Amino acid sequence: KNTQDQWCSGGYIQVSTLYPLSLQSSMVKVYDQLSTGFGMEQLSTGFGMEQLSAGFGMEQLSAGFGMEQLSAGFGMEQLSAGFGMKQLSAGFGMEQLSDGFGTEKLSNGFGMEQLSAGFGMEQLSAGFGMEQLSAGFGMEQFSPGFGMEQLSAGFGMEQLSAGFGMEQLSTGFGMEQLSAGFGMEQLSVGFGMEQLSDGFGMEQLSAGFGMEQLSCRGGRLA
């Protein structure tokens, strides 16, 4: 199994996937575009023109092509998208997402996420894969339609099994990725190429045409 290691400002990143080295190296190049500090992430993409600036639990993301925008307060995230018409409002760890075109909707309890999508059946910004996510008490579960991916996380124990695309930590066509830690969820969907990563009540969404999937939080990402 091929492994490729790379250092980033937030910590140590290990790329260990089923993909060829060419795809892995492209993933590492995308990683180079992310700089993480003290919960202060910043992401800038090319075609997607996304830009994220995080303060002390206050993230803000503006996307070009997807026209998404995320502003977070003190664990209170809010996302409004143009083209996708997505909108996320979070209270005190209680997120809620309602989509226009995709008609997605996410309601969170106390770390208990639940998403039901209408048209595309997406979860946490899903594209063509008809993804759906339901989380309990830090136990996320992700089952997509077309991509046939499935992820179940316990207490920071993630497990991903992909069928058609065999996606893991940023895939090719499906480009789905979900990583859940200690209340840190991250989801990147297929056709819409959206990605959401939660830290300590700090959600981050990046959507565009660059199929970004970035997570560097001082720990080891495998």
* The total number of residues written for the chain in this structure: 222
- % helix / strand / coil in the chain, to the nearest 5? 5, 35, 60
pLDDT for residue 149: 34
Supply the pLDDT for residue 169: 31
* Average pLDDT of the residues of the chain: 33
The distance from CA 168 to its chain's CA centroid, rounded to whole angstroms, is: 12
Instruction: Enumerate helices (H) and strands (E) in the chain, giving the number of each.
Output: 1, 20
Q: Which of 185, 177, 214, 206 is nearest to 79 (CA)?
A: 206
- Tell me what pLDDT residue 67 has: 30
pLDDT band at residue 25 under the 50/70/90 scheme: very low
Half-sphere exposure of 129 (CA within 13 A, CB side): 34
